[in-house]
Amino acid sequence: MNNKGSALLIGLLVILAIGGGILAVTSLSKSLPSIDDAKEEIKKAEIKIAEAEKEGKAVELSKQRLSEAKSKLESAKTALKDGNETRANELAEEAKDLAAEARMKYIGKTTEDFE
């Protein structure tokens, strides 16, 4: 192979390496609608809980559920990053449900209300 051929081959390898890097970065930033939905529900719950707390309502159970929701969301993101979209969807749906419960079911409630 002559110098021009070597330079061309090196140039193609560089382009492929850069293109592969861009593809890898794009796939890492990929999200799922279920993850976006869970994020939105968590935001709503945070706002509602803060408002309830200002009003002097019991919010400890809501905060616990919200914490669980955030943990599930992080697990969903990890599953997606690991390439397991099915598990990521499941975890994101669980996160969304927990956040919705925190926002709608548990505000103003204490453990005695569920015994």
In this structure, what token pair is assigned to residue 63?
Answer: 């905060």
Q: Where are the domains of the chain?
A: 1-30, 32-114
Q: How far apart are CA 58 and CA 55, in angstroms?
A: 9
Residues 6+ apart with CB under 8 A from 75: 91
What are 19-77's pLDDT values in tens digits? 554 444 344 446 899 999 999 999 999 999 999 999 999 999 999 999 999 999 999 99
Instruction: Read off φ and ψ for residue 46, nearest 5 degrees.
Output: -60, -45
Identify the pLDDT of residue 11: 53
Measure the CA–CA gap between 56 and 7, rounded to whole angstroms: 72
Amino acid at 33: P
pLDDT one-digit tens code per residue, 61-88: 999 999 999 999 999 999 999 999 999 9
What pLDDT, on a 0 to 100 scale, did the predictor assign at position 10? 59
- Residue that the structure tokens 């103003």 belong to: 108
b/e map 38-58, b = 16+ CB within 10 Å: bbebbeebbebbeebeeeeeb
Cα of first residue to Cα of last residue in the chain, in angstroms, is 81
